[in-house]
């Protein structure tokens, strides 16, 4: 099969987008952007300085009041325009994502669609941010109103696994609500977001309303410390989420910080095995296991364990690993050599603890892509709840196989984890499914669905160490995060 | 001869790519038959079928862009591309009847592909399945029309 063409071989030195202008970073520091499949350098991203970040914050702050005074329907119109501008670029967005992140073209197209869906949902802002009132709510002749108001400048610190979508969980809702925004894309995958921002520019958003500052912790720390920034959105690992939450809160900011995960998929004896396995393959191996919603532990209940394992391993062997621009590839590489080493260390560690590697992806080779950071599908049997592989986030295509006697045991195991991002059950029993969704202390619950990815009009939830904050990204939650309720009590003499 | 590059059918994207290659192949074959002097009595029909297959390609592109749901992107492991590849080496100097019989085989294979793909897509995306089913039925109707010449 012929590879789909790359949008560009080399994207050169990226610029920041501040106050409606693409400007070169003055820091003089750049790092290479690597294609994780080929190992080739495909561009350089600036490590912007504290001063450059402050300049972007000032620009966003200056733009804020005029934008806040722009009627919601006019703001919404720009999001309709943005959707219209994005659609013809759909394939380019997806292909750039494959180049810099390594996911498959199907996954990248799916992510592009979800990105656009967030723009579509934010375009409903006149309805989404309506307030409420009560005549005579204060006393006779005294009315009370709750007005929903924007707050100012917000910022996002973004991860490498969803280069397009995750910034769009936040900024469209913030900006549609009347705030201004600064995105710091992941320095490993900045190309997609920079490309998308060129489309935002084409759509005609006023200068300073959306800004991109590329870089590393200097940018993030400045966003978290600066008094003009009202809140921070973050997605990444739990240790960093905790740091962001603490530091931002110390500086009086709103925070929504999504952390790591260790998601279990529980298969009951009455599950429809064929469909269950197809669905689980997507959960465990999609994006090479680098989703915060990826399945990680496969928990087999009772006598389903043996037939499920046999069939799951057989079908895992058929997963085709390669360059995501080949449409017949099922799984791409992990993001970097460092990430690959970490995944392999976890597999080695599981073996050392007594687990049995039934399908071993450690030495997978993809002809033509010898420099790619590939780990093949890996299934580890005889995993027990006390093992590191059962407890810690691997972020790779590795399945820990556990056997348990009943749903109670499975729930106890899930609840023993510090994480609470997602969990799924596969069953034909409505009663068991209901019990699972009722009792399970995770933010995203799947019933015969292994990838519980909330659509743009629902919040992307998360409990315990998987989320720090109270209002999530996407939909109504996002609008609430980016606005406040102003109460007005009125009496006329 | 129309060059086609048929991929394995193991992802949603590759199934759509396969379908696009089928449409490109079919439309190219019809265009070549429309130019064949001995098949001149059927030239208008071949032109119309070529245009119809191009339109089907556009529908498939639209489906790929609009209907893909990332949540249920499951690997496809039940389709063998060898069952659906078409012969696009258009025979030269054939009359309308022989050309129609050649094209009918393409439609027959296409119909099998779409109807099988529809069954798989039904489990993943109802709207994509409906489109596949529609294209399969259209191919069967085209085959019947060609064979009745």
User: Cβ atoms within 10 A of the Cβ of B126, count?
Assistant: 11
CB contact under 8 A, A87 and B65: yes
Residues 6+ positions from A355 with CB-CB distance below 8 Å: A380, A381, A382, A383, A384, A387, A389, A400
Q: Which conformational region is residue A327 in: left (phi greater than 0), alpha (psi within -120 to 50 degrees), or beta? A: alpha
Rounded Cα distance, A464 and A89, in Å: 38
Evaluate if residue A58 carries a pLDDT over 80. yes
Does residue A403 register a pLDDT over 90? yes
Decide if A319 and B69 are in contact by the 8 Å CB cutoff: no
Taking 90 as the threshold, does the pLDDT of residue A106 lie above it? yes
Q: Which of A36-45, B43-52, B125-134 has the lowest mean pLDDT?
A: B125-134
CATH architecture of A16-259+466-491: 3-Layer(aba) Sandwich (3.40)
Q: pLDDT tier at A210 (50, 70, 90 boundaries)?
A: very high
SS3 A322: coil
> Which chain B residues are within 8 Å of A282, Cβ to Cβ?
72-75
Task: Specify if B29 maps to a domain.
Answer: yes
Q: What are phi and psi of A108, to 5 degrees?
A: -70, -40
Cβ separation B11–A104 shorter than 8 A: yes
CB B103 within 8 A of CB B29: yes
**Number of domains into which chain B is organized:** 1
Give the residue numbers spanning the domain of B110.
Answer: 12-69+86-147
- The Cα of B56 is separated from the nearest Cα of chain A by a number of Å equal to 19
Per residue in A239-297, pLDDT (tens digit) is 999 999 999 999 999 999 999 999 999 999 999 999 999 999 999 999 999 999 999 99
The answer to whether position B106 is within a domain reads yes
Q: Does the pLDDT value for residue A328 go beyond 70?
A: yes
Is the distance from CB of B69 to CB of B63 less than 8 angstroms?
no
CATH number of the domain that B34 lies in? 1.20.1260.10
Residues of chain B found within 8 Å of residue A107, distances taken between Cβ atoms: 70, 73
| pLDDT for A332 beyond 80 | yes
Coil, strand or helix at A375: coil
Q: Is residue B142 part of a domain?
A: yes
pLDDT at B1 over 80: no
- The span from the CA of B139 to the CA of B135, in Å, is 6
Q: Considering CB atoms only, which of B7, B68, B70 is closest to A328?
A: B7
| Domain chopping of chain A, boundaries | 16-259+466-491, 263-447
pTM: 0.95
Q: What is the pLDDT of residues A336-367, one digit of tens each?
A: 999 999 999 999 999 999 999 999 999 999 99
A175: contact with B, CB 8 A cutoff: no
Confidence label for A2 from pLDDT (cuts 50, 70 and 90): confident
What is the mean predicted confidence (pLDDT) over A170-198?
98
Q: What is the CA radius of gyration of chain B?
A: 15
Find residue A401's DSSP bridge partners: A298
Superfamily, domain A263-447: Aldehyde Dehydrogenase; Chain A, domain 2 (3.40.309.10)
Instruction: Quote the CA–CA distance of A126 and A197 in Å, as a whole number.
Output: 24
């Amino acid at each position: 099969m012929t590879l789909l063409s790359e949008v560009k071989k080399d994207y050169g030195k990226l610029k920041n987008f501040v106050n409606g202008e693409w400007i070169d970073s003055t820091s003089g520091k750049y790092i290479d952007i690597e294609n994780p499949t080929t190992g080739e350098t495909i561009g350089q991203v600036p490590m912007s300085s504290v001063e450059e970040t402050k300049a972007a914050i000032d620009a966003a702050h200056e733009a804020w009041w005029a934008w806040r005074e722009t009627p919601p329907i006019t703001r919404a119109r720009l999001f309709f325009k943005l959707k219209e501008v994005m659609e013809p670029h759909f394939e380019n967005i997806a292909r750039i994502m494959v180049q810099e992140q390594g996911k498959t073209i199907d996954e990248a197209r799916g992510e592009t669609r979800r990105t656009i869906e967030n723009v579509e949902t934010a375009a409903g802002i006149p309805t989404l941010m309506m307030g409420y009132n009560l005549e005579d709510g204060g006393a006779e002749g005294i009315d009370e109103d709750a007005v929903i108001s924007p707050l100012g400048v917000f910022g996002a610190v973004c991860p490498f696994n969803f280069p397009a979508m995750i910034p769009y969980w936040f900024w469209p809702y913030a900006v549609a609500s009347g705030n201004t925004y600064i995105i710091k894309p992941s320095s490993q995958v900045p190309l997609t977001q920079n490309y998308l921002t060129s489309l935002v520019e084409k759509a005609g958003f006023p200068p300073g309303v959306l800004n991109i500052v590329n870089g590393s912790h200097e940018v993030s720390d400045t966003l978290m410390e600066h008094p003009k920034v009202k809140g921070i959105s973050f997605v990444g690992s739990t240790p960093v989420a905790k740091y962001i939450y603490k530091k931002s809160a110390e500086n009086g900011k709103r925070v929504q910080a999504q952390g790591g995960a260790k998601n279990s998929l529980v298969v009951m004896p009455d599950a429809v095995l064929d469909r269950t396995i197809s669905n689980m393959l997507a959960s465990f191996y999609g994006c090479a296991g680098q989703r915060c919603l990826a399945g990680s532990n496969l928990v087999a209940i009772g006598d389903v364990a043996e037939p499920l394992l046999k069939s799951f391993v057989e079908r895992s062997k058929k997963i085709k690993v390669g360059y995501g621009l080949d449409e017949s590839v099922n799984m791409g590489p992990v993001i970097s050599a460092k990430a690959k080493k970490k995944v392999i260390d976890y597999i080695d560690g599981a073996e050392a603890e007594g687990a049995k590697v039934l399908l071993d992806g450690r030495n997978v080779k993809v002809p033509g892509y010898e420099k790619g950071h590939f780990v093949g599908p890996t299934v580890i049997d005889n995993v027990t709840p006390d093992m590191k592989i059962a407890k810690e986030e691997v972020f790779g295509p590795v399945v820990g196989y556990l056997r348990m006697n009943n749903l109670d045991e499975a729930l106890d195991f899930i609840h023993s984890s510090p994480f609470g991002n997602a969990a799924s059950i596969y069953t034909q029993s409505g009663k068991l499914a209901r019990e699972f969704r009722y009792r399970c202390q995770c933010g995203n619950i799947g019933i015969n669905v292994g990838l519980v990815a909330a659509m743009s009009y629902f919040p992307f939830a998360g409990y315990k160490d998987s989320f720090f904050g109270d209002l999530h990204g996407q939909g109504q939650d996002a609008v609430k995060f980016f606005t406040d309720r102003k109460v007005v009590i009125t009496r006329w003499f | 001869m129309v060059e086609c590059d048929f991929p394995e059918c193991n992802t949603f994207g590759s199934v759509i790519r396969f379908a696009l290659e089928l449409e490109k192949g079919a439309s190219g074959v019809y265009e070549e038959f429309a130019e064949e002097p001995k098949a001149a009595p059927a030239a208008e029909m071949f032109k119309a079928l070529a245009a119809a297959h191009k339109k089907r390609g556009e529908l498939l592109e639209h489906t790929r862009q609009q209907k893909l749901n990332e949540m249920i992107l499951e690997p496809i492991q039940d389709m063998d591309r060898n069952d659906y590849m078409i012969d696009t080496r258009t025979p030269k100097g054939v009359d309308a009847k022989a050309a129609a019989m050649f094209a009918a085989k393409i439609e027959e294979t296409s119909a099998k592909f779409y109807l099988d793909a529809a069954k798989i897509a039904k489990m993943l995306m109802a709207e994509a399945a409906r489109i596949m089913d529609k294209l399969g039925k259209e191919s069967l109707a085209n085959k019947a029309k060609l064979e009745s010449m």
